[in-house]
Amino acid sequence: MNARGDEGRRRAASGRLKWAAVGLLGLALIAGPGTAAAQEELVVANESSVRVYARTAGGNTVPLRILEGSATGLSRPEGVALDLVHDELVVANVNGNSVTVYARTASGNIPPLRTLQGSATGLGAPFGVALDLVHDELVVANWLNNSITAYTRTSNGNIPPLRTVSGAATTLDTPVGVTLDVDHDELVVANFGGSSAVYSVTVYARTASGNMTPLRRLSGATTGLNQPAGVAVDLVHDELVVVNFGGHSVTIYARTASGNMAPLRTLSGASTGLWGPAGVALDLVHDELLVGNEWGNSVTVYPRTASGNTAPLRTLAGPSTGLTNSTFLTLSTSERGKFFTLTPCRVADTRNPASPSGGPALAANTSRSFPAVGLCGIPADARAIAINVTVVGETDVGDLRLYPTGGPVPGTSTINFLANEPLANNAIMALGTGGRISVQCDMPTGTTHFLFDVHGYFK
């Protein structure tokens, strides 16, 4: 196993990246506010393509869509992430030294919407990629540079990172998988151990920069880590899920595990079908664990709590699937949220002096966004808020359209009003970029004051 890692680095250095030899991962599960058409798909990074299947696909199934060809800019795609707020697909290209972004439903040989590439980016064989829609950032694990780089989500071209985590104190060694834990504001990295053959999962503050010592480091013989590649955090069950490329295993730990700690569960053995597993996606909606097997050219799916030598619930593999060196994957499911009550609290009121949560009044045919996360006890990982929307001092008839910030202005309305009639309505509204909601004010002319109170959230 050590030799394989060393060989991988050597090959990379010689410009011959053969990812079957180093493995990695392609299944990250990103679920977010679901758009109307974005439900229940599985996105898998392959040797030279990104393939999309129905979430429940098994057997020798033809993909729903294939993104492939010279115009796509795909060059050994590995990390994949779905952005359901902006309806985009983000891909890290190891050989291309780039991060390319497409419309979520892109298919065929179409060029990316944005490409992050060039010497200023600090990208070095980017492998894992994670999206932070709360802070509007993109985080990349750089396999060759032993670094984690963070960018503004919409960066396009040769743009330097906002932050770089690298240096001896970080103990980063061939980082492959990266995921964000917005609940605890942490960054979790799987270190493949390509240069040291020391395997670890390291955890940093989300905003870590420079030569930072990890907050926690899971490493040692008892951990069962063996060329860890894909990594996922399960905030519902407070667990850490790691896919071990060299160990042909999935190991699951307490989320805060550190040191030489044994896994809570280990999934491995001939019946599992795990063979050069690289990527992982957790499906907390359907309580499943999905693994991309680079050597197995397959995606294997298990009950989330599976352990031991358990056969998969289903296996996606065969010539019709086109799976070749399948690694990282991501899923779109609508995220399950539980309701949490809050003491009723006014989040914004435009009758107050001018401020981000205050005046001026909404003007006819303009859109304005308001912060929600961080106010009135709304946490960073809230997906939606239960609110009461009030209009007052309307100078004309009209309606307001509320929507998640960053998303398209929808053809839906939240409240309709007459002139000078204080009026209120209940709404449940998904949170968008930066934990904000936007309001489009539809009126012939004039202004209206707007306020909203929160009484709970879903997460």
Partner 1 sequence: MGTMALALAPAEAAGPYNFFVLAPCRVVDTRATPGLPLLANTLRNFPIVGSCGVPINATAVAMNVTIAQPTDFGDLRISPAGQPVPLASVINWSTTHSALANGAIIPLGNDGLGNHVTVQCDMPLGSLGQVHLIIDVMGYFAL
Among 67, 384, 439, 451, binds partner 1 (CB under 8 A): 384
Minimum Å gap between C-beta 35 and partner 1 is: 4
* Listed ranges 134-142, 202-210, 301-309, 330-338: which one lies at the site for partner 1 (CB under 8 A): 330-338
Site for partner 1 in 410-449 (CB under 8 A): 410-416, 418, 423, 425-430
Site for partner 1 in 266-305 (CB under 8 A): 285
What is the contact mask toward partner 1 in residues 23 to 42, using x (rule: CB under 8 A)? ----------xxxxxxxx--
Among 281, 407, 441, 454, binds partner 1 (CB under 8 A): 407
Q: Is 43 left (phi over 0), alpha (psi -120 to 50) or beta?
A: beta
Token pair 């506010």: residue: 33
Phi and psi, residue 154, nearest 5°: -95, 10
Q: Within 10 Å of residue 355's Cβ, how many Cβ atoms? A: 11
Decide: is 103 part of the binding site for partner 1 (CB under 8 A). Answer: no
First to last CA, the chain: 40
Coil, strand or helix: which one is 347?
A: strand
Question: Nearest Cα to 110, choosing from 75, 67, 78?
Answer: 67
Torsion of CA 276, 54, 46, 188, to 10 degrees: -60
Decide: is 458 part of the binding site for partner 1 (CB under 8 A). Answer: yes
59 contact partners, CB below 8 Å, separation of at least 6: 314, 315, 316, 317, 318
Decide: is 395 part of the binding site for partner 1 (CB under 8 A). Answer: no
Minimum Å gap between C-beta 427 and partner 1 is: 5
Q: How far is CA 97 from the centre of its chain?
A: 20
Question: Nearest Cα to 23, choosing from 128, 112, 106, 99?
Answer: 128
Among 247, 276, 404, 435, binds partner 1 (CB under 8 A): 404
What is the contact mask toward partner 1 in residues 149 to 188, using x (rule: CB under 8 A)? ----------------------------------------
CA distance 315 to 329: 14
Pick 52 or 242: Cβ nearer partner 1: 52
Minimum Å gap between C-beta 448 and partner 1 is: 14
Pick 156 or 334: Cβ nearer partner 1: 334
Question: Which amino acid is residue 424, in one-letter code?
Answer: A
Decide: is 218 part of the binding site for partner 1 (CB under 8 A). Answer: no
What number of chain residues touch partner 1 (CB under 8 A)?
40
Minimum Å gap between C-beta 421 and partner 1 is: 9
Distances (CA, A) of 339 to 287, 375, 385, 457: 19, 17, 9, 6
Q: Which residues bind partner 1 (CB under 8 A)?
A: 33-40, 285, 334-339, 383-384, 397, 399, 401-404, 407, 410-416, 418, 423, 425-430, 458
